[in-house]
């Protein structure tokens, strides 16, 4: 069953920017809550304690709002247009941190922010011009679900190998970003499917709708793992590293799936693909440069405050 949806990329981009702002503030609040309640490795006991932690709950509500805004943005624009906008969350996080600590961002941080914004703006502009909302067929849904299954198997193997060991802290952030990317991609397919069901008034429970249900299950699994991993990441990483990792890995995974499986860049001229690659590299470089600058600022800060 093919699915189609109207495209209003400007509205989608605006909603994605709002989502990035909510994500940045939500992650900062959750990081504060996790660190204030941290008493050991993150587990069920720590999770239930966080449910009584005000900043963490506020952060959870903000992140929930960010997810809703992101899904709304996917309703109006292709996946490869709105997902890269999430990189702006790191810019918001940097500015919020500066405001909370009453310190101005350094010149290096401002240059990194400008680099990220320029890269994202270039990517999104070109993507909006050359990408299209395309019909999604059963074979594409199956391909995405198979890709998720492979990633889940790989994650289980890594978890078993690392059991009892202290692996790289950033690995948790990367895993959270990968699963978050699948949430966005599967969310896009479900949005298209639901629209088609309503438009065609096809409420029969056939194989196509069964695949839609499988996508919802995939969203629940990916979303649950991403949320859990983000909480773990906050216990061993700074908020900037968590936001930075999510805003690089999540869009990367979603864009790769959007181009290779959903075919959102099919028919795009070769020059546009080169520009997308270059703009994406510029945005990622800005994010990396910003993370490094913030780490240097943190290491140079006085121990007392």
- Residue 81 CA, distance from chain mean position: 13
Residue 118, classified by CB atoms within 10 Å of its CB into exposed (0-12), middle (13-18) or buried (19+), is middle
Count of CB atoms situated within 10 Å of the CB of 223: 17
Count of CB atoms situated within 10 Å of the CB of 171: 15
Supply the pLDDT for residue 3: 41
Residue 14, classified by CB atoms within 10 Å of its CB into exposed (0-12), middle (13-18) or buried (19+), is middle
Kindly report the pTM of this predicted structure. 0.79
Please, are residues 189 and 136 in contact by the beta-carbon 8 Å criterion?
yes
- Tell me how far CA of residue 179 lies from CA of 62, 183, 249, in angstroms: 19, 6, 9
Which two tokens mark 202? 């096809």
Count of CB atoms situated within 10 Å of the CB of 164: 5
Supply the pLDDT for residue 214: 92
- Tell me how far CA of residue 256 lies from CA of 62, 157, 233, 260, in angstroms: 27, 23, 24, 6
Which two tokens mark 102? 């009453």
Query: Distance (Å, rounded) from C-alpha 26 to C-alpha 285?
Result: 24
Query: Distance (Å, rounded) from C-alpha 34 to C-alpha 46?
Result: 9
Query: From first to last of its 305 residues, what are the pLDDT tens digits of the chain?
Result: 444 444 567 888 899 999 989 988 888 888 887 776 655 566 667 777 777 888 888 988 998 899 889 888 888 888 888 888 887 887 788 788 778 778 777 788 788 888 888 888 888 888 888 887 777 888 989 999 999 999 999 999 988 887 767 767 778 888 998 999 999 999 888 888 777 777 777 667 777 778 888 999 999 999 999 988 888 887 777 777 787 778 778 888 888 888 888 888 888 898 988 998 898 888 878 877 876 776 676 666 554 44
Angle between helices 9-37 and 107-130 (to 10 degrees): 140
Instruction: List b or e across 120-143, with b for residues whose CB sees 16 or more CB atoms inside 10 angstroms.
Output: bbbbbebbbebbebbebbeebbee
Supply the pLDDT for residue 212: 86
Angle between helices 239-260 and 169-200 (to 10 degrees): 50
3-class SS of residue 135: coil
Which two tokens mark 285? 């470089």
Q: Could you give the residue ranges of the DSSP H alpha helices within 86-168?
A: 88-101, 107-130, 138-161
């Amino acid at each position: 069953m093919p699915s189609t949806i109207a495209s209003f990329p400007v509205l989608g981009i605006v909603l994605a920017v709002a989502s990035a702002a909510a994500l940045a503030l939500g992650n900062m609040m959750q990081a504060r809550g996790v660190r204030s309640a941290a008493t050991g490795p993150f587990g069920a006991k720590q999770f239930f304690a966080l449910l009584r932690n005000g900043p963490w709950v506020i952060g959870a509500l903000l992140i929930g709002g960010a997810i809703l805004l992101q899904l709304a943005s996917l309703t109006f624009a292709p996946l490869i247009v709105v997902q890269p906008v999430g990189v702006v969350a790191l810019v918001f996080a940097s500015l919020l941190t500066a405001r909370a600590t009453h310190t101005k961002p350094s010149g290096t941080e401002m240059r990194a922010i400008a680099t990220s914004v320029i890269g994202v703006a270039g990517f999104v502009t070109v993507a909006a011009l050359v990408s299209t909302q395309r019909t999604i067929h059963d074979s594409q849904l199956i391909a995405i679900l198979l890709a998720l299954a492979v990633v889940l198997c790989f994650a289980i193997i890594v978890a078993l190998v690392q059991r009892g060991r202290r692996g790289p802290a950033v690995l948790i952030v990367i895993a959270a970003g990968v699963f978050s990317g699948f949430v966005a991609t599967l969310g896009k397919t479900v949005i298209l499917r639901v629209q088609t069901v309503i438009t065609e008034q096809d409420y029969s429970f056939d194989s196509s709708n069964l695949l839609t249900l499988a996508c919802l299950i995939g969203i629940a699994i990916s979303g649950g793992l991403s949320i859990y991993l983000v909480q773990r990441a906050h216990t061993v990483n700074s908020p900037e590293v968590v936001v930075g990792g999510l805003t690089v890995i999540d869009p990367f995974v979603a864009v790769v799936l959007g181009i290779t499986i959903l075919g959102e860049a099919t028919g795009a001229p070769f020059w546009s693909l080169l520009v997308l690659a270059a703009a994406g590299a510029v945005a990622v470089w800005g994010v990396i440069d910003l993370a490094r600058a913030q780490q240097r600022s943190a290491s140079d800060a006085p121990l007392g405050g």
